Amino acid sequence: GEGESRQSHAHRKVLSDVYEAILGAIYLDGGLNEAKRFVVSTLGSRINEILRSKTSVNYKGDLQELCQAKRLGGVSYNTINSSGPDNAPTFTVEVLVGKKNYASGVGHSVKEAQMNAAKSALEILRKSGQ
């Protein structure tokens, strides 16, 4: 709807949920082969691209693993600001490794802001050779 189209932060999640619902309905109605055929026809080339890609989208997990492997200390997140209307808030989160503030991130949810902060911290740590 019109209201949803103004909520850019939720757009990908809504599309993902719709796709999952359609796939589930196809599986229930037609079985595994029909569901597989649907996935291949709609995501075919993208599946191979994702599988070939070494890019992670779990920045928080990657940061945690890097910090453990390099013995840099524990990872923690602090929400330092929230602003905006209730229906479209913006959060700012800082990520600390040990007691050192490495980066901050902004997002329309605390989780998104944490992920963005972790991504920035990973970039900083990797550039510094740690």
What pLDDT does 74 receive?
94
* 3-class DSSP assignment, residue 1: coil
Render the burial of 14-27: b for 16+ CB within 10 Å, e for the rest. Answer: eeeeeeeeebeebb
pTM over the 0.85 mark = no
Check if the beta carbon of residue 116 is closer than 8 Å to that of residue 105: yes
Question: Could you read off the pLDDT tens digit of each residue along the chain, which spans 130 residues?
Answer: 566 556 655 567 788 889 999 999 999 999 999 999 999 999 887 877 766 765 557 899 999 999 999 999 999 999 999 999 988 899 999 999 998 999 999 999 999 999 999 999 999 999 987 6
In the numeric block, which tokens belong to residue 29? 């109605």
In the numeric block, which tokens belong to residue 60? 């928080």
Query: What's the distance, CA 47 to chain centroid?
Result: 18
Rounded CA-CA distance 16/8 in Å is 14
